[in-house]
């Protein structure tokens, strides 16, 4: 059978060779099969590639190294007590590059530098040559910068819309409102506080939607804040000080109505915010308060029940403790009544008051008023006060007139407010708070008789003593000065002071308290003094003069400070 088949499928070629036709046909069939198989393989490969491309076309691009969701997450507006915007989100463009698409890195940087001359050439070159899928080149461009870069037409460059923080009031409330970083996260001030209350969690979960975020209303009155900042900035220059600050406190609610410290910074361009002298001196600075502390010493003596307005203290000669001696700056060299100790700011008399109460009683009283404990409030930048580990008699004596312990000006103001508002210690707040809510958290620290006595002493000092520069007709201002030798490298300076002034008004029923500081001031003119009455006191008076009406305090010219003195004369 096979032989017949071969015979049938063979023939003689022209050259005499035998050709097997059946074999040729068989070989041709196998070639076609191989071709078909190869085509099927290529078709399969292209089908997989095409399917993958279609799939990727419907996916969100993988911007490796690009912005996370929190970068463009919204933040709530921050407004003052009257609804004036202090911080808000605005849209801005940020420039990115896709290095894999960059043809000529040098040419791209050369073109980009015509719009952004400050760009770092070496750093940008490494980014563009990294081969990454995404790199940031410049965040938060101005609209003009974006338009100019677009006109350059650089392949591989693109823009992404982000949110950045804008502060309409600029430097005016910088230390209170605070800052956000490049990713719109709060890093200081109330911006940081807002994040700590849950905003950062909302942003991480993608739930921080602008329309759902209610504004955060602060206790700050932007009008008063502007005046405070204006006055201390003028004082900084006028007295050639290294720093100045002030706070306006509602003594009934504990609300901080205004607080500022200079030098400060512009939160819209915070290039200098980290400089050494850019410190919120009011809440984050620790200082010896000097004679302002005598407010607490006299109040302590009265509240202990061991002294009255009729009590007398021997200030006829210095007090000697070991090798140290306590003197009066302008001594009367005689026995003084308690009001005279306050009026003449007698160091000797204040030491005698502390001696009357005792070391433990003295320390307990200052802690009771919160002067030596870390203050609890929303603002993150709060320093912890310092005190001696062991109080000795000499410590109690010097602390009585404001040397030997350090606290923040804001804490000193809060402690003084308790001596004016009926005897209640109310932790300060930067959020709106009603008087009813304030009393729910208030702590009674001194008695009514003590408050009555301290109001009298403040009024007396404004009428006859060092607080006269802060008097404002019609507003019945009272207060106390404090001039302390500035501590430099652990030693007291004989040339530089840290000056403070506390003022309350109206003294028949105090509503507000103003506390001002002047750090290392100089005499305004040759022949003038550099004590607190000549600088911190003047700033306080100017602030009250310009803001009392804004605060809703009506002037009353029917009686002045002297009318409040009747019950003790």
Q: Residue 306: which residues within 8 A CB-CB, separation 6 or more? A: 356, 357
Dist. CA 404–CA 551, nearest whole Å: 36
Structure-token match 């702590």, residue found? 443
Cα-only R_g, the chain? 38
Dist. CA 503–CA 249, nearest whole Å: 10
Q: Retrieve residue 33's tokens.
A: 């099969």
Phi, psi of 12 (to 5 degrees): -95, 130
SS3 of residue 355 by DSSP: helix
Dist. CA 177–CA 505, nearest whole Å: 27
Bridge partner list, 386: 406
H or E, element range at 471 = none
CB of 435 within 8 A of CB of 381? Answer: no
Q: Residue 178: which residues within 8 A CB-CB, separation 6 or more? A: 186, 187, 188, 189, 190, 191, 192, 193, 267
Q: Residue 365: which residues within 8 A CB-CB, separation 6 or more? A: 296, 299, 300, 303, 304, 357
H or E, element range at 140 = strand 135-141
Length of the chain: 569
Q: How far is CA 510 from CA 459, 475, 506, 556, in A?
A: 11, 10, 5, 13
Dist. CA 497–CA 212, nearest whole Å: 50
SS3 of residue 379 by DSSP: coil
Cis peptide before 263 (omega within 30 of 0): yes
CB of 326 within 8 A of CB of 348? Answer: yes
- Look up 169 and say whether it is catalytic: no
The one catalytic residue among 261, 291, 295, 345: 291
Dist. CA 555–CA 544, nearest whole Å: 11
45 CB-side CA count, 13 A: 6
CB of 477 within 8 A of CB of 544? Answer: yes
Handedness of CA 39, 45, 49, 50 (dihedral sign): positive
Dist. CA 493–CA 78, nearest whole Å: 42
Dist. CA 137–CA 93, nearest whole Å: 11
Query: What's the DSSP call for residue 437?
Result: H
Dist. CA 254–CA 263, nearest whole Å: 25
Instruction: Tell me which residues are annotated as active site.
Output: 291
């Amino acid at each position: 059978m096979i032989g017949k088949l071969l015979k049938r499928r063979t023939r003689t070629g022209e050259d005499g060779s035998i050709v097997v036709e059946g074999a040729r046909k068989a070989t041709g069939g196998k070639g076609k099969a191989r071709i078909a198989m190869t085509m099927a393989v290529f078709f399969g490969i292209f089908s997989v590639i095409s399917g993958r491309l279609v799939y990727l076309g419907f996916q969100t691009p993988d911007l490796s190294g690009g912005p996370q969701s929190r970068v463009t997450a919204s933040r709530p507006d921050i407004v003052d007590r009257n609804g004036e915007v202090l911080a808000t989100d605005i849209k801005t463009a940020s420039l990115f590059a896709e290095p894999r698409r960059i043809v000529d890195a040098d040419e791209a940087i050369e073109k980009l530098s015509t719009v952004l001359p400050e760009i770092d050439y070496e750093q940008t070159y490494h980014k563009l040559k990294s081969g990454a899928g995404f790199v940031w080149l410049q965040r938060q461009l101005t609209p003009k910068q974006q338009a100019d870069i677009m006109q350059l037409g650089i392949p591989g460059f693109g823009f992404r819309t982000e949110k950045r923080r804008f502060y309409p009031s600029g430097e005016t409330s910088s230390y209170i409102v605070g800052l956000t970083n490049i990713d719109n996260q709060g890093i200081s001030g109330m911006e940081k506080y807002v994040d700590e209350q849950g905003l950062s969690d909302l942003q991480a979960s993608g739930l921080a939607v602008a329309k759902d975020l209610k504004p955060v209303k602060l206790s700050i009155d932007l009008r008063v804040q502007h005046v405070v900042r204006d006055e201390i900035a003028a004082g900084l220059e006028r007295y050639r000080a290294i720093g100045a600050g002030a706070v306006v406190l509602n003594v009934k609610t504990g609300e901080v109505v205004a607080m500022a410290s200079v030098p400060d910074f512009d939160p819209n361009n915070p290039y200098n915010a980290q400089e050494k002298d850019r410190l919120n001196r009011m809440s984050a600075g620790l200082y010896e308060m000097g004679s302002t502390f005598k407010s607490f010493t006299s109040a302590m003596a009265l509240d202990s029940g061991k002294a009255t307005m009729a009590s007398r203290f021997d200030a006829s000669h210095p007090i000697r403790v070991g090798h140290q001696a306590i003197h009066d700056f302008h001594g009367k060299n005689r026995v003084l009544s308690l009001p005279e100790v306050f009026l003449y700011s007698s160091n000797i008399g204040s030491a005698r008051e502390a001696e009357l109460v005792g070391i433990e009683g003295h320390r307990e009283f200052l802690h009771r008023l919160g002067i030596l404990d870390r203050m609890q409030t929303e603002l993150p930048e709060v320093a912890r006060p310092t005190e001696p580990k062991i109080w000795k008699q000499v410590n109690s004596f010097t602390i009585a007139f404001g040397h030997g312990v350090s606290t923040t000006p804001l804490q000193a103001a809060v402690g003084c407010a308790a001596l004016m508002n009926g005897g209640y210690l109310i932790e300060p707040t930067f959020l709106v708070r009603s008087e009813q809510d304030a009393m729910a958290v208030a702590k009674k620290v001194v008695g009514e008789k003590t408050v009555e006595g301290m109001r009298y002493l403040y009024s007396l000092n404004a009428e006859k003593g060092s607080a006269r520069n802060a008097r404002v007709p019609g507003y019945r201002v009272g207060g106390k000065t404090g001039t302390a030798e500035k501590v430099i490298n652990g030693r007291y300076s004989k040339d530089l002071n840290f000056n403070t002034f506390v003022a309350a008004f109206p003294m028949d029923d105090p509503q507000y308290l103003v506390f001002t500081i002047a750090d290392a001031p100089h005499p305004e003119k040759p022949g003038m003094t550099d004590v607190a009455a000549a600088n911190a006191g003047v700033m306080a008076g100017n602030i009250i003069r310009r803001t009392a009406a804004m605060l809703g305090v009506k002037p009353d010219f029917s009686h002045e400070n002297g009318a409040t003195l009747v019950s003790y004369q």
